[in-house]
Structure 1
Amino acid sequence: MAFPGLQHVALTVGDIERSTKWYSALFGADPVLVEDEEGGRFHHTVFALDGGMLFGLHTHQGRESKDAFDEQRTGLDHVGFSVGSHAELEQWARKLTELGIEHGGIKKARYGSGVSFRDPDNIALEFFTGPE
């Protein structure tokens, strides 16, 4: 049996309104779902990305830590978004600049190339393409 692919990613954020606006600009789309979970334990805002992937933003009704993200803590290191080519990676680097999102430019390695950047909670994100 093949191991299944990722269906969704959900990130806990410090300010849901700020993050929703930021990710809406990045994705060029509005969320497809904005609601409180049935039990009232958390609120989520969900975006539908190409390929059927869902990307969620969560708050835990004020119980979330307000600490900035740190990839050196156990847990998430970063979220990588797949792009099809180096040319597309260049387009995304330009879009980040247009949106005023700081990034490290395109970094090349033997296993591929990427552009790293961070969201308002300092969560590490990356656009990545394999070697050409």
Structure 2
Amino acid sequence: MPDLSGFHHVKLPVADLHRSREWYTSVLGLRVDIEFVEDGELMGLALADASGRLRLALRLDPARAAALSGFDAIALGVPKREEVESWRARLDDLGQPHGGIVTGHKGGSVLIGLHDPDGIEIRLYAE
């Protein structure tokens, strides 16, 4: 069987690209890599972290964004458990509500309850 090397990117639906761009860049520190314009209208964004290893796409799709509200669609990896604590402090400084840090199923640290502007939960996880 041929090998797989991981995810190329994850795509999330959003109701408002401008609002989501602001949130993902200011809260998670991602940068816009590509803007997808169709018929003169901004329809999607490709975002990446500073290293380019974490890639996330946002697609304008209000109905699907509403359907995912409250669901923990993705867990982003954090290199070390101590850094989950740093993320909690950063989110607190930004006034971003979250559910605190819990122990994951394999003993890692997981920051839960962080929601993007559409209510999609994003967890931060370190083994």
Pick the structure with more strand per residue. 2
SS of residue paired to 1:31:
strand
**Could you state the TM-score of these two structures normalised by the residue count of structure 2?**
0.82
**8 Å contact from structure 1 (residues 25, 99) kept in 2:** no
Ranges in structure 1 where 5+ consecutive residues have no aligned partner: 72-76
2:89 maps to 1:94: yes
RMSD: 2.3
Residue 43 (structure 1) aligns with: 43
Unaligned runs of 5+ in 2: none
Q: Identity of aligned pairs, percent?
A: 29
Number of corresponding residues = 121
Poorly superposed stretches of 4+, deviation over 6 Å: 39-42
> How far did residue 34 of structure 1 move?
1.6
Match of 2:119 among 119, 122, 127: 122
User: What is the match of residue 5 of structure 1?
Assistant: 6
- 1:74 maps to what in 2? none
Deviation at 1:41, TM superposition (A): 9.4
Distance 1:123 1:18 in 2: 14
Displacement of 1:109 after TM fit? 3.4
After superposing the two structures, state which structure 1 stretch, 104-113 or 119-128, moved more: 104-113
Question: Do the aligned residues in 2 keep the contact of 1:96 with 1:102 (CA within 8 Å)?
Answer: yes
